[in-house]
Amino acid sequence: MRRLLVLLAALTLTACGQAPAVQEPGPAAAPPAGFPVTIQNCGRTLTFDRPPAKVVTGYHPSLETLFALGLADRVAGRTNFSESAFLPGHRELYARIKEISPTIMLPQKEVMLAQGADFVLDNAMASFDAAGGYATVAELDAAGSPVYILGGWCSPRETLEFTLEDTFTDLHNLGRIFGVPDRAAKLAAGLRAGLDDVRERVAGRPPVRVLATDGGRGPVNAYGGAGLTHQMITAAGGRNVLEGVEGDYTEVSAEQVSAAQPEAVLVSEYATLRGETTPSVRAKTADTFAVVRNSPAAADRRVLALPVAAQHPGYRNLLAIAGIARFLHPGAFPA
């Protein structure tokens, strides 16, 4: 027994006397291939050491753009989309992602900061207005949640300066940020081929005079000769009857709209706005035709509902151009 106690004591002393192994710090993990990536957005320089893995998206076209790039698995939170139809195959992806806001707007400041996002993608500055209770771009940057605004819609002036090329720039930038540049290049090439096809089909055909409106009998909510919707009309073989109005979404007098004599009308389609029900396409169309009652568009009842999501930055606007062109120039697209 004594020998056993001595042996146990010796083992205990030996164990107590052993210093814990000291592990030398290993080398820092090397950035993935292609990183770091530096991007310019809204006058800010964004640098990414690795692809974002916990993304929050704002208004739906930003989420759709990530879906198109095959990045649904990177999105941890999204806002609500219930204003019009989903693009094919997107509803299922959307349903798998946690909803962090019941409207198209990002959640209020405290909730937004609590998401712990490593990237925030949106297509306007409205969800970053401190006066509205939202986290600002600077606050999110400081929290490690850098913000990227699609389409360069960083200020009212830059919204008017939008061109369709800005959408292609966004696709390539996102491809670099997420480490999928080849995927982005392939998507951009396909969209550019589709856009070129539309332009070739409508080339040489007389432009159709188009009024793009969001309804109203006076003043009329309409789209002027600057910005995204104007670019879409032009690419689809139309001529914006309000091209002389410097504005994207703006108000125009009923008299000016009536005198414009449109041959076709595009009506913005969305069922809700920030959680509130909005007038239907049918109601807005009735108001519009009442204003332009003596126009060719009213005589022919020629109208196309255009999802408002396609009138915001995101790859959907490039898809929508073909639909507008088919509406304006059906003869250019034989069955």
**Are the C-beta atoms of residues 53 and 74 closer than 8 Å to each other?**
yes
- Which helix (H) or strand (E) is 269 found in, with range? strand 264-269
Residue 21: pLDDT band with limits 50, 70, 90: very low
Contacts 24+ apart (CB under 8 A), 73-78: 74/178, 76/115, 76/117, 77/115, 77/117
Which residues, 6+ apart, have CB-to-CB distance to 326 below 8 Å?
332, 333
pLDDT digits (tens, 9 = 90+) for 213-259: 999 999 999 999 999 999 999 999 999 999 999 999 999 999 999 99
Do 217 and 287 contact (CB within 8 A), yes or no?
A: yes
278-315: pLDDT as tens digits: 789 999 999 999 999 999 999 999 999 999 999 999 99
C-alpha angle 86-87-88 in degrees, rounded to nearest 5: 115
The answer, yes or no, to whether residue 25 has pLDDT greater than 80, is: no
- Residue count of the chain: 335
What is the average pLDDT score of the chain? Answer: 91
Quick: pLDDT tens for 35-81: 999 999 999 999 999 999 999 999 999 999 999 999 999 999 999 99
* 275 contacts: CB under 8 Å, gap ≥ 6: 80, 102, 103
CB proximity list for 15: less than 8 A, separation 6 or greater: none
CB neighbours of residue 147 within 10 Å: 26
Contact assessment for residue 247 and residue 237, using Cβ atoms and an 8 Å cutoff: no
pTM of the model: 0.88
